[in-house]
Amino acid sequence: MPTLFDSVTAGDLKLANRVVMAPLTRNRSPDAIPGPFAADYYAQRATAGLIITEATAVTQQGQGYSDVPGLYGTEQLDVWKKVTHDVHAAGGKIVVQLWHVGRVSHSSLQPNNGAPVAPSAIAAKTKTVLIKNGKAEFVDTSVPRELRAQELPELVHSFQAAARNAVETAHFDGVEIHAANGYLLDQFLKTGANHRTDDYGGSIENRARLLLEVTRSVTSAIGGGRTGIRLSPVTEANDIDDADPQVLFDHVLRELATLNLAYIHIIEGNTGGKRTLDNRPFDYAALKAAYRQAGGKGAWMVNNGYDQKLAETAVQEGDDLVAFGRMYIGNPDLVARLRQSGPFNQDDKTTWYGDGAEGNTDYPTL
């Protein structure tokens, strides 16, 4: 019977176990450069089968929160190279999550204080985080402008360039494309945010076009075996919704099946909340079947509210990888703690966001 601690292959990635550290935004990267504790923070958690970094912007335009890292400047790449070196020295594997937040941003974070961009000029009824005097402050997102069709090729290229820099310069083992949680690629996918009437709006095929163009571009640069993708079919995060998510995501997964990806990372239910939503029923088994029947061979990663019991059940029922989020904040040696069923440190919510080592690299190990 499979366990959480079996070695497993995800595309080109040979992983020591099935435990994944999920992406965790920590707002500790002033000027979009990973902070002084980043290498220690990730290296402490290198016993995970795979580490997925905090979401990392592919351009300044893609930034949506204060003090989150980027992957578009030399200084950023230099620090990320130190991070990957230390994780690899500790025996770990690490991929960087590539994101563009789209409308979930504030004009103060944008080039020349401009409006954030989105598929349509519809404001997200949500908050973003600005760091003021070292403290996190939640503020309303700014009203976005609609991306022009002629801007989209350059946007696709920004993902490709970031992926190539991540692997070739910063020595990441691969990348994860962030297409979940109401950020830009998810905004294009879903009817609640995409009211376009051109080739990137309307039909399911059109709304999925940008996501597939980005994914093909990334895989052409670094290979499908080093590329994962994160999706959240029914999350309400960042004011996102779709009229028919089952049909939409079944289509998306059938298309992704042809790209030989390393893994598919699925957030089940509402990100950081309920795993099932009465108003948004969704059949995840059917989604996985659509992917497999279309020839998809990537590892299947599940996420959202998994504790040890749920994770063990998921693996026994055929899921390949389980991502843990909050548990990794307070438990850098989570794999060791899972092996002996605890005890588990309680994380301090007041130190989730902001600078310094407190609540970041100071949690005790067994």
Residues marked as catalytic: 183
Peptide bond before residue 343 is cis, with ω within 30 degrees of 0: yes
**Would you say 43 and 92 are in contact if contact means Cβ atoms under 8 Å apart?**
yes
Decide if 39 contacts 86 (C-beta within 8 A).
yes
E strand or H helix that includes residue 162: helix 152-164
Q: What is the DSSP string of 67-84?
A: T--BSSSHHHHHHHHHHH
C-alpha closest to that of 199 among 149, 153, 248, 249: 149
Spatial separation of the C-alpha atoms in residues 288 and 266, rounded to whole Å: 10
Q: Give one DSSP letter per residue of 177-226, joined into a string.
A: EEE-TTSHHHHHHSTTT----STTSSSHHHHTHHHHHHHHHHHHHH-GGG
Q: Which residues pair with 94 in a beta bridge?
A: 51
Partners of 302 in the β-ladder: 266, 322
Measure the CA–CA gap between 122 and 337, rounded to whole angstroms. 45
Please answer whether residues 228 and 174 qualify as being in contact, where contact means their C-beta atoms are separated by less than 8 angstroms. yes
Torsions phi, psi of 150, nearest 5? -70, -15
Half-sphere exposure of 245 (CA within 13 A, CB side): 24
Measured CA to CA, the distance from residue 311 to residue 4 in angstroms comes to 7
Q: Which residues pair with 55 in a beta bridge?
A: 97
First to last CA, the chain: 27
Q: What is the identity of the amino acid at 290?
A: A
**Would you say how long the chain is, in residues?**
366
Phi-psi bin for 91: left (phi > 0), alpha (psi -120 to 50), beta?
Answer: left
